[in-house]
């Protein structure tokens, strides 16, 4: 993404910032971002840190800002022992679409939509 950004006009480059780090440890001023975007990364955030992180996302967004997430998840039903072992070995904290939607709403977001694709 950084290499592709270098091909864009300077005005576009100036609008983008890349940060490498633990999202749970980051801190920004309220209303800093128009968009918070995560792709296939939040499964690595432990369950007990997800709600505080999503609350930070909400705080960091400007009024009318959007949270866009793509992440791995699990089904709505009871997980098999095999799946629980798989997740534990990899330290994955997977949520079902319903659980993700509830988490986002509990963090203070409105107009929440979740899709399982």
Q: Give the whole-angstrom CA distance, residue 113 versus residue 105.
A: 10
Domain assignment of residue 82, yes or no: yes
Distance CA 43, CA 45 (A): 6
- Given a cut of 90, whether residue 16 has pLDDT beyond it is no
User: Looking at residues 26-54, what average pLDDT do you find?
Assistant: 96
Please, what is the end-to-end C-alpha distance for the chain in angstroms? 24
In a domain, 113, yes or no: no
Give the pLDDT mean for 16-45. 92
Distance of CA 101 to the CA centre of its chain: 12
Question: Is the residue at 16 inside a domain?
Answer: no
Is residue 1 one of the residues assigned to a domain? no
Q: Above 90 in pLDDT, residue 53?
A: yes
Decide if 6 is inside a domain.
no
67 is a domain residue: yes
Does the pLDDT of residue 17 top 90, yes or no?
A: no
Instruction: For residue range 68-105, list pLDDT tens digits in order.
Output: 999 999 999 999 999 999 999 999 999 999 999 999 99
At 8 the three-state DSSP class reads coil
The whole-number average pLDDT for the span 21-28 is 93
Tell me: pLDDT of 113 over 90. no
Q: Which CATH number does the domain housing residue 61 bear?
A: 3.40.50.150
Give the per-residue pLDDT at 9.
93
Q: Which of 16-30, 37-51, 56-70, 79-93 has the lowest mean pLDDT?
A: 16-30
- Asked, for residue 114, whether it belongs to a domain, the answer is no
DSSP 79: P
> Domain range for residue 78?
22-106
Higher-scoring residue by pLDDT: 5, 17? 5
Asked, for residue 45, whether it belongs to a domain, the answer is yes
Query: Domain tally for the chain?
Result: 1
Beta partners for 61? Answer: 33
Average pLDDT, the chain: 93
């Amino acid at each position: 993404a950084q290499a592709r950004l270098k091909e864009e006009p300077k005005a576009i480059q100036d609008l983008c910032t890349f940060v490498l780090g633990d999202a749970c440890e980051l801190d920004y001023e309220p209303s800093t971002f128009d968009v918070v975007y995560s792709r296939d990364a939040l499964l690595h955030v432990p369950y007990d840190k997800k709600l505080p992180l999503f609350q930070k996302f909400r705080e960091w967004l400007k009024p009318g800002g959007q949270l866009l997430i793509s992440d791995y998840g699990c089904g709505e039903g009871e997980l098999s022992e095999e799946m629980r072992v798989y997740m534990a070995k990899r330290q994955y904290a997977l949520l079902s679409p319903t659980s993700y939607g509830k988490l986002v709403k509990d963090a203070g977001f409105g107009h929440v939509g979740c899709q399982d694709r």
